[in-house]
Amino acid sequence: MQIKSIVIEGNNGDVAIEQTPDGAMAVFNRYRICEITRNDDKETRYEAATKVAKAIYGTDRKGRAAATNSMIHEVLTELDRVAGC
């Protein structure tokens, strides 16, 4: 089974994660948040998941994602699932 897109309901709108020929791309309000490829290392994909988590959960006073580490890992799992990693 191959998942081509996922829509996640966020605090301020929906975030769509769509498959691209090389990986996946996350879009929030028609603005591209990030794009990952299947060849990216774990740290690069985690940084991308953090950006997506900011769009989904919002930010704290310091500008970090208002999400726990496990919440960011759940977003990373969905990014990887769509990208086919």
* Domain membership of residue 75 as a residue range: 5-83
What pLDDT, on the 0 to 100 scale, is given for residue 48?
A: 94
* Confidence grade of residue 10 (pLDDT, cut at 50, 70, 90): confident
Indicate the angle between helix axes 42-57 and 69-83, nearest 10 degrees: 110
Global pTM?
A: 0.88
Total domains, the chain: 1
Closest Cα partner for 25 from 16, 59, 3, 55?
Answer: 16
- pLDDT (tens digit, 9 = 90+) per residue, 52-66? 999 999 998 998 999
The whole-number pLDDT of residue 11 equals 81
Query: Do 49 and 72 contact (CB within 8 A), yes or no?
Result: yes
